[in-house]
């Protein structure tokens, strides 16, 4: 069975939902495919908030400056300008659509976070910002008859014909067989790849499939070496690595080592409000110095009632694990959180593969450079999701989905064919996932070296050669290879990428982006955006 629609969006986080709404506004039909339920995404778990220059004492130029400072010299200036300027309009629109952000006396309440020069972070429900944004966008999308959701449908690959993306292959959630869905164009908004690592704040769905599928189909990827580790994930035996928001330090929390001593002032002039990469490496240094496995965040100097009101979800989670954030030190350690790299796009979400667009964490617009500024990711998803949806609809307004080849009508290029689901295949997939995650954490993690990266690459390449890998496992290994190869290529330390053997930043040689293309060595580019000659639509 081959299905057709006007447009396909893969992913239902902030970028995917906003893209779908933009497409539907043109009168076109759009199908949104999600790996799990429609509300399950990285957006759903975002606590920290949305950074936007809407307060009276803030300006977009200041937000621009802070973003570029955090990006360690690798932000695309035009992309950042689009983010901070368009972000104001799209956030006001989101509020008009019913998103309820925290207020005080009827006015929007702005909070402080690390590396921001102003209090510009909007929150909802204290620390449930992502949940509120998804609620508002889902409600609007579900009220539009032109938007159809296909939940629990894992996308397995892109359909590419004559150099153009013409649809996706996905796993039918009901009968567990592979299907084909064709459209005028596809918008990838499938999120990040935090699950590559043994310790991560990301949900189970964040496995990097969109990046792997785009790469395999022939699209360029950029800056895959830059993986951000959140400094403060809950570190309690038997508990998930629950993210303890950046805002906790913004509100006055301090970091202490196993000896109970505050240490961040020794590592950076802004102490706990230093960029995330610096805080993460400082914690790792303290763990090594004290020969322990955890550091602590201390919130006990703050008023208990205020803390519980400001961080209700964090308070509830910690209490479930026997911790009172108002009276006790909270054990923390870094965990993989966000990938700055992804599918290379222009400012309107176009990739180097005709018919394929990307937005959100799966994409690399150049906004984040080498290190994402806290709370810029939700704004990026909102702004560039809308731009990608608008560009896709405009570029392909008069197209019709290509007719399926005759043999695909029968087999769907795998459609209708039962997926192998024997116990052995499941065991292999689980073993591959566990091995890759440990290797990524130990060899391609916060601290890297040529030796560690080469050892990881040798194992990844050996795993990749196995014929028994399922599509999901192959995608997983592909993204791990992309991160490790880019990290080996960049012989310097910059932002979230730190090499023991090249500990200094080298602007003379390495103020460039890494570009990965299937079948080719990694190359350097001064920009993420690509030349007009490369921007093909037809």
What is the DSSP code (8-state) at residue 415? Answer: B
How many H helices and E strands in the chain? 16, 23
In contact, 515 and 535? CB cutoff 8 Å:
no
Q: How far is CA 195 from CA 153, 190, 436, 522, in A?
A: 19, 13, 10, 24
In contact, 221 and 208? CB cutoff 8 Å:
no
276: annotated active-site residue: yes
Rounded distance between C-alpha atoms, residue 488 and residue 449, angstroms = 8
Report the 10 Å Cβ neighbour count for 279: 28
Residue 214 burial class via C-beta count within 10 angstroms: exposed 0-12, middle 13-18, buried 19 and up: buried
Q: Which residues contact 324 (CB under 8 A, 6 or more apart)?
A: 318
- Phi, psi of 347, rounded to the nearest 5 degrees: -75, -5
Kind plus residue range of the DSSP H or E element containing 297: strand 295-298
Rounded distance between C-alpha atoms, residue 189 and residue 389, angstroms = 10
Query: Taking Cα atoms as reference points, which of 347, 366, 345, 367 lies closest to residue 356?
Result: 345
Sequence-distant contacts of 267-272: CB under 8 A, at least 24 apart = 270/114, 270/115, 272/114
Rounded distance between C-alpha atoms, residue 311 and residue 245, angstroms = 9
The DSSP secondary structure of 433-470, one letter per residue, reads: HHHHHHHHHHHSSSSB-HHHHHHHHHHHHHHHT-TT--
Query: Taking Cα atoms as reference points, which of 381, 99, 70 lies closest to residue 246?
Result: 70
Angle at 78 between CA 74 and CA 83, to 5 degrees: 95
The DSSP secondary structure of 229-251, one letter per residue, reads: EEEEEE--TTS---B--THHHHT
Choice among 18, 179, 276, 387 that is catalytic: 276
Q: Which residues are catalytic?
A: 276
């Amino acid at each position: 069975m081959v299905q057709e629609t006007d447009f396909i969006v893969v992913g239902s986080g902030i970028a995917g939902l906003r893209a779908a709404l933009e497409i539907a506004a043109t009168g076109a039909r759009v199908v949104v495919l999600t790996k799990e339920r429609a509300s399950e995404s990285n957006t759903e778990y975002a606590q920290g908030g949305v950074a936007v220059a809407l307060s009276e004492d803030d300006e977009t130029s200041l937000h621009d400056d802070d973003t570029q400072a955090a990006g360690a010299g690798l932000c695309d200036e035009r992309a950042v300008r689009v983010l901070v300027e368009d972000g104001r309009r799209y956030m006001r629109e989101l509020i008009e659509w019913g998103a309820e952000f925290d207020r005080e006396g009827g006015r929007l309440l702005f909070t402080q976070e690390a590396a921001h020069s102003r209090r510009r972070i909007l929150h909802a429900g204290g620390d449930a910002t992502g949940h509120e944004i998804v609620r508002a966008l889902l409600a609007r999308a579900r009220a539009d008859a032109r938007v159809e959701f296909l939940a629990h449908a894992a996308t397995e690959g892109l359909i590419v014909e004559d150099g153009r993306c013409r649809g996706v292959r996905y796993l039918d959630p009901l009968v567990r067989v592979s299907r084909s869905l064709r459209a005028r164009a596809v918008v990838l908004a499938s999120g990040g790849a935090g699950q590559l690592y043994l310790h991560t704040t990301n949900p189970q769905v964040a496995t990097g499939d969109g990046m792997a599928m785009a790469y395999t189909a022939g699209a360029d990827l950029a800056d895959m070496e830059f993986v951000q580790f959140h400094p403060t994930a809950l570190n309690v035996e038997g508990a998930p690595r629950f993210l303890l928001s950046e805002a906790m330090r913004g509100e006055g929390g301090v970091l202490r080592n196993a000896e109970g001593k505050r240490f961040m002032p020794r590592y950076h002039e802004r102490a706990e409000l230093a960029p995330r990469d610096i805080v993460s490496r400082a914690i790792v240094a303290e763990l090594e110095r004290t020969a322990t496995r955890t550091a602590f965040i201390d919130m006990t100097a703050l008023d208990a009632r205020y803390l519980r009101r400001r961080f209700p979800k964090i308070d509830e989670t910690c209490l479930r694990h026997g911790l009172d954030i108002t009276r006790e030190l909270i054990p923390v350690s870094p965990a993989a959180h966000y990938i700055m790299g992804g599918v290379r796009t222009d400012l309107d979400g176009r990739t180097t593969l005709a018919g394929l667009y990307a937005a959100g964490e799966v994409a690399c617009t150049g906004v984040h450079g080498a290190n994402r500024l806290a709370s810029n990711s939700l704004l990026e998803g909102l702004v560039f999701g809308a731009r990608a949806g608008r560009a896709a609809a405009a570029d392909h307004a008069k197209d019709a989905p290509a007719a399926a080849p005759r043999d695909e009508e029968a087999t769907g290029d795998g459609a209708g064919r039962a997926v192998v689901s024997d116990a052995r295949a499941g065991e292999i997939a689980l073993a591959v996932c566990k091995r890759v995650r440990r290797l990524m954490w130990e060899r391609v993690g916060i601290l890297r070296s040529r030796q560690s990266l080469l050892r990881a690459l040798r194992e990844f390449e050996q795993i990749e050669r196995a014929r028994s890998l399922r599509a999901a496992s192959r995608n997983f290994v592909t993204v791990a290879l992309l991160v490790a190869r880019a990290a080996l290529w960049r012989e310097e330390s910059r932002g979230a990428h730190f090499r023991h053997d090249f500990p200094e930043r080298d602007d003379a040689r390495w103020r460039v982006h890494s570009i990965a293309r299937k079948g080719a060595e990694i190359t350097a580019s001064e920009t993420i955006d690509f030349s007009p000659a490369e921007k093909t639509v037809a």
